[in-house]
Chain A
Amino acid sequence: MKQQPAVVANDLTKSYKSQLALKKVSFQIENGELFGFIGPDGAGKTTLFHLLTTLLIPDTGSASVRGFDTVADYAAIRKIVGYMPGRFSLYQDLTVEENLNFFAGIFNTTIAENYHLIEDIYKQIEPFKTRRAGKLSGGMKQKLALSCALIHKPEVLFLDEPTTGVDAVSRMEFWEMLRKLKQQGITIVVSTPYMDEAALCDRVALMQNGEIMLTNTPQRIVDGFKGELLAVSSDNMFDLLHQLENIPDTAAAYRFGDRIHYVSERNIDPEIIQKALASSGQKNVVIEPITPVIEDCFIMLMKSKSKNDPN
């Protein structure tokens, strides 16, 4: 049993009435991996997590967690996974400690038995252990929820958008916690709409409209970026975007922080862009080839699929 991959999905499909939420999704997650599903709201991430944690049954296709089938062996899976839903789902009127005790109790364990697993996280909220969960701040709720999902020493931990709506500093700290948990040998499956978090995963699946567009390590995804990515800036950034879009054979031009990222259909000489922009009256144009990040890859993948997209 230990030799089984942590999670396997084969052609998972799920629809709600007429809405197709997940279309033939397949992947394999290895033991000990920190695996990320990256995609915006509506990509199908939560539906996928519900299927994997046995809370939903697929229309077609199948999935297994540590070799257990998500439909036939649902009871076995529930014992070995931890799940932190996107929405805070602990008991608001129980205290911090009561919540944790409750979750430990359901799984026939105690806080003491697995304290080492949650110590780093729980000790930050322990001073407030007699406070009701409903009265905690957002960051503390998040830490309590993670502690509750971990208290039975799960083999696979599912975290659905744990960092959504969280500020950049707290997000960074949360990922540091995940890194430490990974070292304990727990397989971590996490979803996020923040593209920059992809770089912190061992492997990621980029999701959009119920489909996986691409699965690989962040580095290989970036290496596979087609074409040369240029970063362009000038004195008039607002007009610059439209001027770049009008250059023949433009594949993409989009704002990225304080510059515009530009990709051409062909291997364009930056000199040609310089000239085109100068003739449009742009001053202080700076063009520089740069290494793409996951968000660039995501945008280009979306564009290549956009023929079917109504938007």
Chain B
Amino acid sequence: MTKADTVIVVKDLVKKFGSFVANDHLNFEVKRGEIFGFLGANGAGKTTAIKILCGLQSPTSGDIKVAGFNVYTQTNKIKQHIGYMSQKFSLYEDLTVSENFRFYGGIYGLSNKLIRERTKTLLQRLDLEHAANKVLRDIPLGWKQKLAFSVAVMHNPEVVFLDEPTGGVDPITRRQFWELIYEEANRGTTIFVTTHYMDEAEYCQRVSIMVDGRIEALDSPKKLKETYQAASMNEVFIRLARAQKNTE
């Protein structure tokens, strides 16, 4: 497999539902190993764009490639090469930690040997080897969240989509989770993340802010704060998102 430097290419992405334009000519690229923050108010069109990038929905028009695959014709290829984690943990509460790894490894078609190896490596990284045989419902929330992330990167995807991964988590665990994100990005995995915590926007290398279906701003947090003469990303966000007409 050739590994290009750009993992997500979006040119003129348009998605309409009837007369409603959910995504209005989006243009951006995300590089290998980059931590890219995808922000926007509720109803700005983030979820629609993420569904398209994950191969779950077809765009109306535009030229979009994820991990080198076309979002119109190669959606199954895309699904094999991306990871996904949302705030609602997709792990099975009545399975053990290692059974969850086995289940998802199986879905991604990993061999039993590889599943065993990856489970071991990932649990070692989290310092949770001792929890391998614990049933998921019996372990702390913070562990579940880290495990959900590990499961999402188990098949070594090129890009992992994190949809509000830290919602409702305590401030220390939230920061530990971001350490995990940094480590994964350092290994070359691209991170595409949405969040409502504006301090987390500061942890991203680049951030886009969607307003009414358009990308209103896209730059590093530092540059965005300079451009909008704001002290924090929270201020930048509020200034841009306040103008939104389509409130959800």
Contacts and interface: CB of A to CB of B under 8 A. Distances in A.
A195 B171 contact: yes
**Highest count of chain B CB atoms <10 Å: which of A39, A40, A43, A256:** A40
A167 B172 contact: no
A258 B164 contact: no
B114 interface: no
Interface in B195-248: 196-199, 202-203, 221-222, 232-234, 237-238, 241-242, 244, 247-248
Interface residue tally on A, bucketed by range: 35 or more
Contacts of B142: 311
Contacts of A256: 199
**Highest count of chain A CB atoms <10 Å: which of B169, B203, B247:** B247
Nearest to B237: A168
Given A169-B242, A172-B238, A137 B232 contact: no
B168 interface: yes
A166 B202 contact: no
Interface stretch (B6-14, B37-45, B104-112, B154-162): B37-45
B173 A255 contact: no
A286 to B, nearest CB: 14
Given A168-B238, A169-B242, A299-B172, A137 B248 contact: yes
B196 A208 contact: no
A134 interface: no
Contacts of B199: 256-257
Contact of B169 (A40, A138, A298, A310): A40
Contacts, number: 92
B171 A299 contact: yes
B171 A170 contact: no
Contact of B232 (A139, A238, A257): A257
A39 B232 contact: no
Nearest to B199: A257
Interface string A278-311: 0000000000000000010011001100000011
A61 interface: no
B9 to A, nearest CB: 27
Contacts of A310: 140
Interface in B40-95: 40-43, 87
Contact of B241 (A164, A168, A195): A168
A73 interface: no
Contact of A208 (B143, B170, B182, B203): B170
B141 A40 contact: yes
Contacts of A139: 42-43, 247-248
A165 interface: yes
Interface residue tally on B, bucketed by range: 35 or more
Contact of B170 (A140, A167, A258, A302): A302
A67 interface: no
A260 to B, nearest CB: 10
Contact of A303 (B87, B172, B178, B182): B172
A255 B203 contact: yes
A159 B50 CA distance: 31
A41 interface: yes
Contacts of B198: 168, 257
Contact of A169 (B141, B164, B238): B238
B87 A165 contact: yes
Interface in A167-216: 167-172, 193-195, 208
A42 B244 CA distance: 34
A256 B234 CA distance: 13
Contacts of B168: 40-41, 164, 193
A167 B46 CA distance: 12
A35 to B, nearest CB: 20
A68 interface: no
A138 B141 contact: no
A170 B42 contact: yes
A225 interface: no
Nearest to A170: B42
Contacts of A42: 140-141
A115 interface: no
Given A165-B196, A168-B241, A310-B140, A302 B172 contact: yes
Contacts of B169: 40-41, 193
28 contacts: A40-B141, A40-B170, A40-B171, A40-B173, A41-B168, A41-B169, A42-B141, A43-B170, A138-B42, A139-B42, A139-B248, A165-B167, A167-B41, A168-B41, A168-B196, A168-B237, A168-B238, A169-B237, A169-B241, A193-B168, A255-B203, A256-B199, A257-B199, A257-B232, A258-B232, A295-B171, A299-B171, A303-B172
Interface of A: 39-43, 137-140, 164-172, 193-195, 208, 238, 254-258, 295, 298-299, 302-303, 310-311
Given A40-B170, A168-B41, A302-B172, 9 more contacts: A43-B170, A169-B244, A172-B238, A257-B198, A257-B232, A257-B233, A298-B170, A299-B172, A311-B142
What are the 6 tightest A-B residue pairs by CB atom distance, in nearest-first order?
A40-B170, A41-B168, A137-B248, A167-B41, A257-B199, A258-B202
